[in-house]
Amino acid sequence: MNENFDREKACACLAETVAAVFADMAFIDAVTLAESIAAEPAAEPAAATESAPASSRPGPSSEVLERCALDVLKPVSCRLELALSPGLHRKIVEILLGESDVKGGADDSILEMLNVIAGGFLTSYFGLGVEIKLELPRYLFLEDESGGDIVCSADFDAEGERLSAILRSIRYRY
Amino acid sequence: MRAYSKALIVDDSSTSRMILQRCIDMAGIPVGEYLFAENGLEALNILLSGRQVDIVITDINMPKMDGQTFVRLVKGKTETSGIPIVVVSSIAEASVEEELKALGVAFVVKKPVSPQKMLGALGGEA
């Protein structure tokens, strides 16, 4: 199967899945910022998160977001990324683990949510019965660790905190 | 409702292991002791060490040894083949689910888990 996504469908599935997983797993309302859903080829995440009007974007714009990614190998070669504020990360850890410190074993809470989002998105987009193969989720620490063309992205207001989801098409794997 | 003296939870995510335990407890399923493993290899070693585990709850996508390989090995060994296994996964792939059930996996639960889902998978009659 090739990696030519139906961008509008991918965007809708991505936004719905992220909101559902944040609600079901972390009991956090992640409201899609309608102006931010990008179904056209978009620039890199910094520009994508700037697409929503400043007045509707939560959190300070100078905040450094935490980023994680999960590579999908089948049925298409792509990558799902989440970018979230440190405040949102802390909130999730407190809710899921009852801890106030995100260090140590609490760090994989976001990775686990990304894992569930990936499965939910792929099932939502491709339907049941399709072979799915995922890599393990990981944090991104370097600016240039992301790669691939952005298929779609969506920004969310997660109870006053910033959250973005990005789907990239990865054409070549060696 | 069925009670378990030892439940082995297998998942590379510490968050997921904690959530699974919490959901089982919230479902009111009696478990005497929880054991944990980060991957299939670690879990297999626990089972082969002689500890009397009477239910395994395992993820699929894990490093070192994935859940499918782990299930095949557990079901292929005389000393462990009778242990009931529940698979918990973020992907609901029909062919994988068919294979797992053919191997003898009791239930396949799709993440995110909930007390209701765990009650359905583990809470049957004794």
Q: CA separation (Å) from B103 to A36, A72, B76, B87? A: 46, 26, 9, 12
Predicted confidence at residue A147, as pLDDT, reads 73
In this complex, the residue of B14, B15, B91 whose CB is nearest that of residue A134 is B91
Interface list for A 102-131 with B (CB within 8 A): 105-106, 108-109, 111-112, 115-116, 118-120, 122-123, 128-131
Check residues A142 and B65 and name the one with the higher pLDDT. Answer: B65
Burial of B25 (0-12, 13-18, 19+ CB in 10 A): middle
Which chain B positions have a beta carbon within 8 Å of A120's beta carbon? Answer: 90
Check residues A129 and B108 and name the one with the higher pLDDT. Answer: B108
Going by pLDDT thresholds of 50, 70 and 90, the confidence category of residue A38 is low
Q: CA separation (Å) from A82 to A139, A163, B38, B47? A: 9, 7, 24, 36
pLDDT tens for B69-125 read: 999 999 999 999 999 999 999 986 788 888 899 999 999 999 999 999 999 999 876
Which helix (H) or strand (E) element contains residue B109? strand B107-110
Share of residues in chain A with pLDDT > 90 (%)? 56
ipTM of the complex: 0.85
Average pLDDT over residues A70-84: 94
Judged by CB atoms closer than 8 Å, whether chains meet at B18 and A97 is answered as yes
Where do the DSSP E strands lie in chain A? 30-32, 66-74, 78-84, 133-134, 138-140, 149-158, 161-169
Going by pLDDT thresholds of 50, 70 and 90, the confidence category of residue B22 is very high
Average pLDDT over residues B2-14: 95
- Contact with chain B for residue A28, Cβ under 8 A: no
Task: Report whether pLDDT(A108) > 60.
Answer: yes
Mean pLDDT of chain B: 93
Question: Pairing mode, if any, of strands A30-32 and A161-169?
Answer: unpaired
Predicted confidence at residue A116, as pLDDT, reads 96
Question: Pairing mode, if any, of strands A149-158 and A161-169?
Answer: antiparallel
Predicted confidence at residue A35, as pLDDT, reads 62
Phi, psi of B58 (to 5 degrees): -130, 145
Classify residue A143 by its DSSP letter.
G
pLDDT tens for A43-62 read: 454 433 433 444 455 765 66
- Contact with chain A for residue B87, Cβ under 8 A: no
Mean pLDDT of chain A: 82
Whole-angstrom distance, CA of residue B58 vs CA of residue B71: 9
Predicted confidence at residue A171, as pLDDT, reads 78
In chain B, count H helices and then E strands: 5, 5
Predicted confidence at residue B112, as pLDDT, reads 93
Predicted confidence at residue A173, as pLDDT, reads 62
Judged by CB atoms closer than 8 Å, whether chains meet at A109 and B15 is answered as yes
Average pLDDT over residues A102-106: 58
- Contact with chain A for residue B116, Cβ under 8 A: no
Judged by CB atoms closer than 8 Å, whether chains meet at B91 and A109 is answered as no
Predicted confidence at residue B57, as pLDDT, reads 98
- Non-local (6+) Cβ contacts of B103 within 8 A are B71, B72, B75
Task: Report whether pLDDT(B36) > 80.
Answer: yes
